[in-house]
């Protein structure tokens, strides 16, 4: 088994080198969304009792994947770290996740790459449902990186796609109500274009490509509104084991797609 693995290593790097070279000629998506799925299954697969180890490995993988995105010139990345449904997980797992989030967000404060690459970090979702201390850390990082405009990282936390649409509708109605419009007048001004301005990522291009790991073939509501014309790529690999080869294969697949945008 060990000999077999050692024999595969040179072939892996030769293949990786070839993909990197080919990638220079591919059309690269402006905005990539990532559903980072499989942390818990990865931990079980590795025979680890502590599920939080899988989540920690997943957080470390995100840092690596973001570096790959910047290397190929992807300007916007949106990742789903914690859904509203995840609040229903065992309390000890949720608490461990919040502790991990707080730790990783604190690391972002003095992250040299964020400053050097001018990465703006934004957290999208019902942040107000998170622990106060975690909310404070989020606000600090958003403020510190708010002036950056070279790369954009959106972290979906306490996020649900349906809830985002509902929240956008509420904000649209409240804004129109300030102008003393009647319900009928408000309804008449409601269009897809008007509502889009109230989505979490309204100031950014919609995702060209959405990647989901772990073999699940569904979006689960991720960027429900924004993904109408997105291309999808589903990868069997658990998120903590997501390799640069997997990433480049997704980009190669995107390059081969003929996008029609409903036409």
DSSP-assigned letter for residue 104: H
Q: Do the Cβ atoms of 30 and 76 come closer than 8 Å?
A: yes
Q: CB-based burial of residue 3 (10 Å sphere; 0-12 exposed, 13-18 middle, 19+ buried)? A: exposed
Q: Do the Cβ atoms of 74 and 32 come closer than 8 Å?
A: yes
Q: Mean pLDDT, to the nearest integer, of 197-217? A: 97
Q: Mean pLDDT, to the nearest integer, of 45-70? A: 94
**pLDDT tens, residue by residue, 11-30:** 889 999 999 999 999 999 99
Q: Is the pLDDT of residue 3 over 50?
A: no
**pLDDT tens, residue by residue, 110-148:** 888 888 999 999 999 999 999 999 999 999 999 999 999
pLDDT band per the 50, 70, 90 thresholds, residue 58: very high
Q: Do the Cβ atoms of 257 and 232 come closer than 8 Å?
A: no
pLDDT value, residue 227: 97
Alpha-carbon distance of 209 to 230, in angstroms, equals 5
Written as six digits, the tokens of 250 are 């997704």
If one compares 260 and 42, the residue with the highest pLDDT of the two is 42
Q: Is the pLDDT of residue 72 over 60?
A: yes
Q: CB-based burial of residue 220 (10 Å sphere; 0-12 exposed, 13-18 middle, 19+ buried)? A: middle
Nearest to 234, CA basis, from 74, 35, 29, 77: 35
Q: Is the pLDDT of residue 102 over 70?
A: yes
pLDDT band per the 50, 70, 90 thresholds, residue 6: very low
pLDDT value, residue 8: 62
Work out the mean pLDDT of the chain and round it to a whole number: 94
Alpha-carbon distance of 218 to 35, in angstroms, equals 10
Query: What percent of the chain stands above pLDDT 90?
Result: 89
Written as six digits, the tokens of 7 are 């024999």
Placement of tokens 């509420």 in the chain: 170
* Cβ-Cβ contacts under 8 Å for 87 (sequence gap 6 or more): 94, 129, 158
Q: CB-based burial of residue 240 (10 Å sphere; 0-12 exposed, 13-18 middle, 19+ buried)? A: buried
Neighbours of 102 (CB within 10 A): 17
Q: Mean pLDDT, to the nearest integer, of 180-199? A: 96
Q: Do the Cβ atoms of 37 and 213 come closer than 8 Å?
A: yes
pLDDT value, residue 261: 83
* Cβ-Cβ contacts under 8 Å for 137 (sequence gap 6 or more): 102, 105, 106
Q: Is the pLDDT of residue 246 over 50?
A: yes
Written as six digits, the tokens of 139 are 């606000």
pLDDT band per the 50, 70, 90 thresholds, residue 209: very high
Q: What is the DSSP string of 24-47?
A: TTS---SEEEEE---HHHHHHHTT
Bridge-based pairing of strands 119-124 and 209-212 is unpaired
pLDDT band per the 50, 70, 90 thresholds, residue 262: confident
pLDDT value, residue 110: 81
pLDDT value, residue 2: 46
Placement of tokens 């990783």 in the chain: 104
Written as six digits, the tokens of 63 are 């840092």
Q: Is the pLDDT of residue 4 over 70?
A: no
Which CATH code for domain 27-160+206-256? Answer: 3.40.1180.10
List residues with catalytic annotation.
37, 86
Q: Mean pLDDT, to the nearest integer, of 185-211? A: 97
């Amino acid at each position: 088994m060990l000999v077999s693995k050692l024999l595969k290593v040179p072939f892996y790097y030769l293949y990786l080198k070839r993909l990197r070279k080919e990638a220079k000629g591919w059309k690269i998506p402006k905005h990539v969304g990532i559903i980072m799925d499989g942390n818990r299954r990865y931990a079980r697969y590795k025979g680890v009792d502590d599920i939080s180890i899988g989540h920690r490995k997943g957080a470390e993988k995100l840092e690596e994947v973001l570096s790959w995105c910047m290397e190929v010139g992807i300007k916007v990345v949106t990742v789903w770290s914690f859904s509203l449904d995840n609040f229903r997980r065992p309390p000890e797992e949720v608490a461990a996740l919040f502790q991990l989030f707080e730790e990783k967000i604190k690391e972002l404060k003095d992250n040299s790459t964020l400053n050097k690459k001018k990465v703006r970090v934004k957290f999208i979702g019902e942040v107000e449902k998170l622990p106060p201390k975690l909310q404070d850390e989020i606000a600090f990082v958003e403020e510190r990186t708010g002036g950056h405009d070279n790369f954009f990282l959106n972290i979906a936390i306490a996020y649900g796609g349906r809830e985002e649409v509902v929240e956008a509708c509420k904000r649209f109605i409240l804004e129109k109500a300030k102008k003393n419009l009647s319900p009928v007048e408000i309804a008449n001004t409601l269009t897809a274009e008007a509502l889009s301005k109230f989505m979490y990522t309204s100031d950014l291009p919609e995702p060209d490509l959405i990647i989901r790991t772990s073999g699940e073939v569904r979006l689960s509501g991720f960027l429900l509104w924004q993904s109408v014309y997105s291309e999808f790529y589903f990868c069997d690999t658990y998120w903590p084991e997501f390799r640069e080869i997997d990433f480049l294969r997704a980009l190669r697949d995107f390059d081969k797609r003929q996008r029609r945008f409903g036409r």
